[in-house]
């Protein structure tokens, strides 16, 4: 009897514990949401409500929300023959595979099957987005057998139209619809013009144009809004609708001073998204010129500034640094963007975007992240990585960012955004910026560049951030780099008070292990294996070195010394 009572009491206690954990978790989730929402602009909230209302209405009556924007009766739809989008020169897969309904996105290959399944519900959301972007049509444009390519596209197009309803599902996310609209205009002459379904295709372009015009992502902004604007301008030129061109140009004029920082960096502070936006601006610039239309004020200056910034953030291996949400861009696309070669100097400071590039000799490149993680009102692609860095030796990446392999919510996405995944200091197992969900961030670390100096062949950089001010004793992390040919010395000082667990980490690609000597002081030294990303769905083995202070009073100092021959 006694054991039964004890067992019942244990169950009740466990039940109460679980209930308490659930309540605590919900309270913390609500607190994160509130801390995230307070960073938004009121106009963003209003636009989010507007778009949500439109989506609810168009589930029943899409014709009440979207009005097709047909070309004038006298118009001949199409783009000027003198304009070629940058995508035309890029690789989008094998035409033969696509003709069979086999698509490879994010390093994952899937088949539509018979009958074609355009929903692909068991694929990741980003994979499905890629399917509906229609960028795969470029592979058919580039195919040597144009007749076969046109027949394949006709089959795929008709299948897609019969399977996907207007304004329903992820195919009609405004970003996805914008990208698809641009591709539809771009591939019309090669794949559609003169075919039996040309009239239907032109009707769809008109419907897409009306949809994008009524669904501008003014709530999100950033690269999404640029993609909307690009689609509006592209459709305006294609349909000979000057009102669409004017709307797009006006929006872009307003966005350029916001999205392109004084140092030329895109304000989301992701090198790969910088490339996306730069490509969009180059395409807009060239299309408007070819169409003899007015270009947005400041566009030429913005493009050149972004090319200069990109030249600094391309690593010695020929691809971009991988800070925040970033993946490798690839040499062909980078070449098409025409980044400006950086000046030959030991250090470049990109103060507005928060990066410092150090080249103490021809063999060495170090890129330091010393700024804020994201714009206040757009945290989607932020990582908790302030005072992290990447190192290239003899053209190879050695110290690496963990980067981004997935946008799917879950443990891997949370890890890749976390402080523990970056080459910086973590305190009490917390993230310096409160990254949560798949694309959100609450309280953010604020980076401060304090010193940049050069003396003979030594570059010294000092920076700090206040991301841990919310913890007991208000810890402040300050990092000093001393970078010279064949050597980097790093000193981490954690000021403040109280007792904390402090861990400093360095992530090393396995290929660099034999050429790089790493020593550390100030705590327990450990070495473990890990994986780092280079693109979506692509992970590589790596080694993580760490210095750990389990229960240390502040202030505290840790140090690294990296040497190579």
Write out the chain's pLDDT in tens, 565 residues: 555 556 666 666 555 556 555 656 677 778 888 888 877 788 888 888 888 888 888 888 887 888 999 999 889 999 999 999 999 888 898 999 999 999 999 999 999 999 999 999 999 999 999 999 999 999 999 999 999 999 999 999 999 999 999 988 999 999 999 999 999 999 999 999 999 999 999 999 999 999 999 999 999 999 999 999 999 999 999 999 999 999 999 999 999 999 999 999 999 999 999 999 999 999 999 999 999 999 999 999 999 999 999 999 999 999 999 999 999 999 999 999 999 999 899 999 999 999 999 999 999 999 999 999 999 989 999 999 999 999 999 999 999 999 999 999 999 999 999 999 999 999 999 999 999 999 999 999 999 999 999 998 999 999 999 999 999 999 999 999 999 999 999 999 999 999 999 999 999 997 776 788 999 999 999 999 999 999 999 999 999 999 999 988 999 999 999 999 8
Tell me the C-alpha distance between 399 and 383, whole Å: 17
Contact of 507 with 515, CB cutoff 8 Å: no
Separation of alpha carbons 269 and 42, rounded Å:
23
* pLDDT at 394 (0 to 100): 92
Judge contact between 503 and 426, C-beta under 8 A. Answer: yes
C-alpha closest to that of 282 among 258, 310, 262? 310
User: Other CB atoms closer than 10 Å to residue 543's CB: what's the count?
Assistant: 17
Q: Checking DSSP bridges between strand 487-495 and strand 524-535, what pairing results, if any?
A: unpaired
Please report, for residues 55, 166, 207, 208, 231, the alpha-carbon distance to residue 63 in angstroms, rounded to integers and kept in the order given.
Answer: 12, 9, 10, 12, 20
Domain 37-259, CATH number (from 1.10.150.20, 1.50.10.100, 3.40.720.10, 3.40.50.300): 1.50.10.100
Among 219, 223, 252, CA closest to 51: 219
Q: What is the pLDDT of residue 449?
A: 97
**Domains 37-259 and 339-564 alike in fold:** no
CATH fold for domain 339-564: Beta-galactosidase; Chain A, domain 5 (2.70.98)
- The per-residue pLDDT for 329 is 95
Closest CA to 144 of 194, 94, 184: 94
Tokens of 504: 């400093």
Enumerate the β-bridge partners of residue 455.
458
- The first and second tokens of residue 166, run together, are 């207007």
The whole-number pLDDT of residue 22 equals 65
In this prediction the pTM is 0.93
Nearest Cα neighbor of 271 from 362, 175, 385, 438 is: 385
* Residue corresponding to tokens 């490149």: 365
Dist. CA 224–CA 542, nearest whole Å: 33
Q: List the structure tokens of 525.
A: 């030294």
pLDDT of residue 3: 57
The domain limits of the chain are 37-259, 339-564
Q: How far is CA 405 from CA 64, 107, 325, 328, in A?
A: 39, 10, 9, 11
Write phi, then psi, for 418 (nearest 5 degrees): -80, 160
Q: Do 321 and 401 meet the contact criterion of CB atoms below 8 Å apart?
A: yes
């Amino acid at each position: 009897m006694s054991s039964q009572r004890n067992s019942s009491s244990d169950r009740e206690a466990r039940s109460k514990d679980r209930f308490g954990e659930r309540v605590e978790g919900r309270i913390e989730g609500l607190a994160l949401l509130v801390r995230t929402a307070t960073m938004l602009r009121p106009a963003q909230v209003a636009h989010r409500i507007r778009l949500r209302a439109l989506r609810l209405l168009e589930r029943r009556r899409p014709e009440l929300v979207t009005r097709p924007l047909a070309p004038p009766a006298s118009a001949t739809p199409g783009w000027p023959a003198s304009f070629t989008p940058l995508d035309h020169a890029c690789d989008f897969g094998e035409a033969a595979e696509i003709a069979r309904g086999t698509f490879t996105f994010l390093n994952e290959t899937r088949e539509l099957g018979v009958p074609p399944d355009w929903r692909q519900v068991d694929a990741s959301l980003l994979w499905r987005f890629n399917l509906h972007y229609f960028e795969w049509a470029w592979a058919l444009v580039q195919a040597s057998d144009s007749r076969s390519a046109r027949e394949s596209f006709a089959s795929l197009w008709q299948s897609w139209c019969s399977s996907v309803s207007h304004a329903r599902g992820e195919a009609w996310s405004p970003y996805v619809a914008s990208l698809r609209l641009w591709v539809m205009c771009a591939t019309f002459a090669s794949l559609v013009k003169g075919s039996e379904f040309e009239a239907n295709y032109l009707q769809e372009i008109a419907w897409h144009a009306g949809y994008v015009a009524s669904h501008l992502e003014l709530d999100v902004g950033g690269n999404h809004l640029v993609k909307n604007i690009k689609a509006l301008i592209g459709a305006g030129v294609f349909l000979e609708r000057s009102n669409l061109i004017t709307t797009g140009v006006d929006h872009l004029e307003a966005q350029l001073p916001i999205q392109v920082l004084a140092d030329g960096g895109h304000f989301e502070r992701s090198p790969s998204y910088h490339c996306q936006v730069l490509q969009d601006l180059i395409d807009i610039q060239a299309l408007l010129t070819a169409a003899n239309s007015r270009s947005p004020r400041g566009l030429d200056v913005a493009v050149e500034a972004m090319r200069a910034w990109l030249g600094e953030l391309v690593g010695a291996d020929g691809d971009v640094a991988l800070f925040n949400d970033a993946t490798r861009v690839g040499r062909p696309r980078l070449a098409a963007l025409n980044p400006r070669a950086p000046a030959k100097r030991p250090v470049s400071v990109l103060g507005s975007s928060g990066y410092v590039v150090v080249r103490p000799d021809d063999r060495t490149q170090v890129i330091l992240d010393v700024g804020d993680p994201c714009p206040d009102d757009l945290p989607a692609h932020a990582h908790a990585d302030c005072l992290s860095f990447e190192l290239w030796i003899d053209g190879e990446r050695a110290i690496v960012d963990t980067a981004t392999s997935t946008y799917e919510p879950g443990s891997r996405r949370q890890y890749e955004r976390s402080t523990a995944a970056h080459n910086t200091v973590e305190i009490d197992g917390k993230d310096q910026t409160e990254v949560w969900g798949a694309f959100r961030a609450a309280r953010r670390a604020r980076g401060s560049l304090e010193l940049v100096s050069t003396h003979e062949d030594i570059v010294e950089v000092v920076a700090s951030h206040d991301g841990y001010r919310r913890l007991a004793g208000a810890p402040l992390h300050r990092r000093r780099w001393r970078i010279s040919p064949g050597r980097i010395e790093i000193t981490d000082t954690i000021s403040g008070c109280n007792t904390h667990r402090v861990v400093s980490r360095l992530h090393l690609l396995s290929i660099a292990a034999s050429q790089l000597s790493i020593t550390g002081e100030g705590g327990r030294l450990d070495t473990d294996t890990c994986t780092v990303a280079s693109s979506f769905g692509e992970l590589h083995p790596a080694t993580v070195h760490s210095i750990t202070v389990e229960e240390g009073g502040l202030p505290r100092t840790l140090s690294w010394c990296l040497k190579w021959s």
